[in-house]
Structures are given as C-alpha cells and as structure tokens.
Amino acid sequence: MTESTADRDDAHVDVEIDTSEVVRRPGRILVTNDDGIEAPGLRLLATGLADRFDDVLVAAPSSDLSGTGTGIGRYDPDAGVGMRRADVDGIEGYAIDGPPGLAVMAAALGAFGAAPDLVVSGVNNGMNTGHSVLHSGTVGGALTAATFGGRGLAVSLDVDQLGPDGERRWDTAVQVAVAVVGWMRSDAAPAVINLNVPSVPVERLRGARWARLDDFGYFSVASADVAGAALTLEVTDRTSGLDPTTDTALCRAGYVTLTALRSVEPAAVPDSDAGTVTGIERRSDAG
C-alpha cells in the first residue's frame, strides 16, 4: 500500500491490491478477532497473511464475543483462563475462553513465545465505523496492541449491502488487509488503523480513502419495558443523511476506508486548570 503524493488532508490513499511485491520482514504477526476462532473471516485472514509473511500466530476467542471492546473479562488467579490448541489450516493457533483483548494481552506478555510486532484483528462480519468502534472487540484487539508498544490493524467487511447472491467477499478484505500490513511495517504508518472494506469483488472497489469516524453510534434509542425485565436498543439508520467524508458513508459508497486511531493515553491539561487541583485539595481537607 502506498500513500498518494497528495497531503493526507486530501483523505486519499492508493491501495496496491497486487500483494506479490510485499517484502517479507522479520517480525511476528498475531491474528485475532471477536467472532470466534471458527469464523471464516479469521481463517482466511490468517492463511492470507501466512502466504506473504513468515511468522503468523493465531489467538482468538473460543466463541463469539462481539462487542467486548478492549475488555479482558474476569480473571480468577486460582483457575486461570481456559484455553486449547486450535491450529488454523496449519498455522499455530490457540482458542481462549476470553475476549480478543485478553488474547492480545497474553500474546504481548509472552504466553505464546515472542511477542507480536503487529496485531491484525478480523475479518469482522460487519463493518466497524463511527463512534461505536469503542465497543468493538475487533477494534479493541488492535487498540490493545498499541498499549503494549505494538501496532494494530482492525479489518471489517461491510456485509449490510450484499449483492443479489448474498456472497460475503472475504477474499477482497483479505487482499486489502495483506497490502495494508505490508505498508504498516514502515515507520510512516499510524500505530492503529481501522480498515473497512466493501463486500464486492476487488475490481469493483472505487479506491481507498482516509476517513474520519462517523458521529453516529451503532444504537440510537434505548428503552426498558414497564416491568424492567428487558432492555431494547434501536439500531441507528445508517443508510441516509450521512456526512460523505465519514467512514460509514465512504465504505457504503464503495471505498475502502482507513481511520487512524489512538489507544489510551493521557489528555493534556491546560495551564489555566492547574488551580483546579489546588481547589480540590482544599475542599478535601475541609471535608
């Protein structure tokens, strides 16, 4: 993958779909997801990466744990976490009874040998766009990688607008992801990228764009029944009224979208707020 010669503010990148020129470099790649280790998106992503890069490892939830964000779940030091060996088409793999954040953390701490330099999370069955990426286990896996000094790529396939045959084009997402991984191994790439790919044949992709997050979350309305026994969430309408510069709109228009994300880091405090701490201390002493 190569950036265009235009400034990034132009929100345009070119994706080299022909990955035959991707250079093999030393460095471990961890593949995870939140749909579970049996998901087709993970299997095809892992094998696609293993065809191009030398050191690929899989560690993913043993079941579907979508929507877990960066969570690691409850840990019992006496029991540990359930795990089993689960190779994926000959690639070393582990199924973990926990979310992708836990799998990434365990790998970063040396549970499976050398820590990965890059975590590739996906391919998710459905796009991850807008502010709701905060709750995505797919994106959470990529963000967790950055907290341990690595890089992360979240890969999602927009399956909401499938063609008449209803076929999910995992192959398109994998080809684009492999190209992006080759580019991310350079120092110029952001530490965390959220990648969304339309479910169309590669030749029908309109190109690739840097995109900002859509302002909408996945849900727009929450309500509880009178008895308080059930909570109902209404999914946001993401088919109309979209800002054309956002990830949701661009992906729906047929573009591959890339959004650079930051993991957890402290925010700067303006000098003018320095007195706030003193005021809190005084109130605490007085109380």
Q: Is residue 57 part of a domain?
A: yes
Of 246, 227, 228, the C-alpha closest to 238 is: 246
Domains of the chain: total? 1
Of 120, 115, 133, 126, the C-alpha closest to 32 is: 120
**C-beta separation of 143 from 263 below 8 A:** yes
pTM of the predicted model, to two decimals? 0.83
Q: Which residue has the tokens 């087709």?
A: 40
Q: Is residue 58 part of a domain?
A: yes
Q: Is residue 113 part of a domain?
A: yes
Domain span at residue 69? 2-215+241-286
Q: Is residue 221 part of a domain?
A: no
Q: Determine the pLDDT at residue 201.
A: 94
Q: Is residue 224 part of a domain?
A: no
Distance CA 44, CA 55 (A): 16
First vs last Cα of the chain: how many Å apart? 59
Per-residue confidence of the chain (287 residues) as pLDDT tens digits? 443 333 334 444 454 444 444 333 348 999 999 999 999 999 999 999 999 999 999 999 999 999 999 999 998 999 999 999 999 999 999 999 999 999 999 999 999 999 999 999 999 999 999 998 999 999 999 999 999 999 999 999 999 877 667 799 999 999 999 999 999 987 788 999 999 999 999 999 999 999 999 986 555 556 566 666 777 767 666 666 788 999 999 999 999 999 999 988 888 776 666 566 666 766 666 65
Q: Is residue 234 part of a domain?
A: no
Q: Is residue 273 part of a domain?
A: yes
Specify the amino acid at residue 270.
P
**243: burial class by Cβ within 10 Å (0-12, 13-18, 19+)?**
middle
Q: Is residue 236 part of a domain?
A: no
Distance CA 233, CA 129 (A): 18
**C-beta separation of 236 from 218 below 8 A:** yes
Q: Determine the pLDDT at residue 165.
A: 73
Q: Determine the pLDDT at residue 53.
A: 94
Letter string b/e over residues 128-164, b meaning 16 or more CB atoms within 10 A of that residue's CB: bbbebbbbbbbbbbbbbbbbbebbbbbbbbbbeeeee
Structure tokens at 272: 């003018």
CATH code at 194?
3.40.1210.10
Strands 256-261, 208-210: pairing kind: parallel
Cis bond upstream, residue 200 (ω within 30): no
